[in-house]
């Protein structure tokens, strides 16, 4: 099947959305984008309108798969020298801050001290072993939680599209089970009654399906 060039060009935005999901993880954005474009072309070649799904729904998991393969081939993620330097600097600042104030600093405080942006501070802290507790400073102060930047809505869209594709690829009975449990919020007992199964059978199958779906989404 020949590549549908207009279809590929019209959906380059999907590549940008997927590539942005993996920014600052040790691989240059250009490489992420190139891998994503390869995934897009593969999706264009393999897409079948008879599947009854939108192209974007089908393409996103393929694009993400190519980008994730890039990480697998490159092995462990490499941290840039600038991030390592900032991380070491923050470790020293955190130690001094704890001695002076008896608690760990918030990201906003570290940004004020260093003059760096909160996003750069967060990235540097995550580039090595976490230097700050994400839930509590251990001082008993309930207000000591660290504010973590909220994910972009674009990332949620990508995850939803990928989840939708996984659901569509499930056997009919498995898809019905997930829909009854998580889209209609029925109990395992009620789901078992509708599907003609026992509650134990539903529980076991649900557990297996969730593990499988988590693996495919990671």
- Domain hosting 186: range is 170-217
Dist CA 118 CA 137 (whole Å): 19
Long-range contacts of 177-185 (CB under 8 A, 24+ apart): 177/202, 177/205, 177/206, 177/209, 178/206, 178/209, 178/213, 181/206
Residue 202 in domain:
yes
Q: 48: domain CATH number?
A: 1.20.120.1810
Residue 150 in domain:
no
Judgement on whether residues 22 and 67 belong to the same structural domain of the protein: yes
pLDDT value of residue 198:
93
Judgement on whether residues 88 and 68 belong to the same structural domain of the protein: no
Residue 82, pLDDT > 60, answer yes
Q: What is the total count of domains within the chain?
A: 3
Judgement on whether residues 66 and 10 belong to the same structural domain of the protein: yes
pTM: 0.40
End-to-end Cα, the chain, rounded Å: 30
Please report which confidence band the pLDDT of residue 197 belongs to, taking 50, 70 and 90 as the band edges.
very high
Residue 91 in domain:
yes
């Amino acid at each position: 099947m020949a590549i549908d060039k207009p279809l590929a060009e019209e959906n380059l935005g999907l590549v940008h959305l997927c590539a942005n999901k993996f920014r600052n993880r040790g691989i240059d954005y250009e490489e992420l984008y190139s891998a994503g474009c390869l995934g897009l072309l593969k999706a264009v070649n393999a897409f079948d309108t008879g599947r009854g799904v939108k192209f974007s729904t089908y393409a996103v998991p393929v694009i993400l798969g190519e980008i994730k393969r890039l990480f697998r081939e490159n092995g462990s993620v490499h941290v840039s020298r600038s991030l390592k330097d900032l991380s070491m600097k923050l470790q020293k600042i955190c130690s001094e801050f704890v001695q002076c104030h008896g608690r760990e600093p918030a990201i906003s405080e570290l940004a004020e001290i260093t003059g760096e942006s909160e996003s750069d501070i967060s990235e540097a802290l995550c580039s090595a072993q976490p230097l700050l507790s994400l839930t509590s400073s251990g001082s008993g102060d309930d207000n000591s939680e660290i504010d973590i930047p909220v994910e972009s809505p674009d990332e949620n869209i990508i995850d939803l599209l990928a989840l939708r594709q996984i659901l569509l690829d499930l056997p009919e009975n498995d898809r019905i089970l997930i829909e009854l449990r998580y889209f209609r919020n029925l109990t395992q007992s009620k789901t078992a009654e509708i599907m003609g199964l026992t509650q134990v059978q539903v529980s076991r199958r649900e557990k297996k399906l969730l593990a499988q779906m988590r693996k495919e989404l990671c």
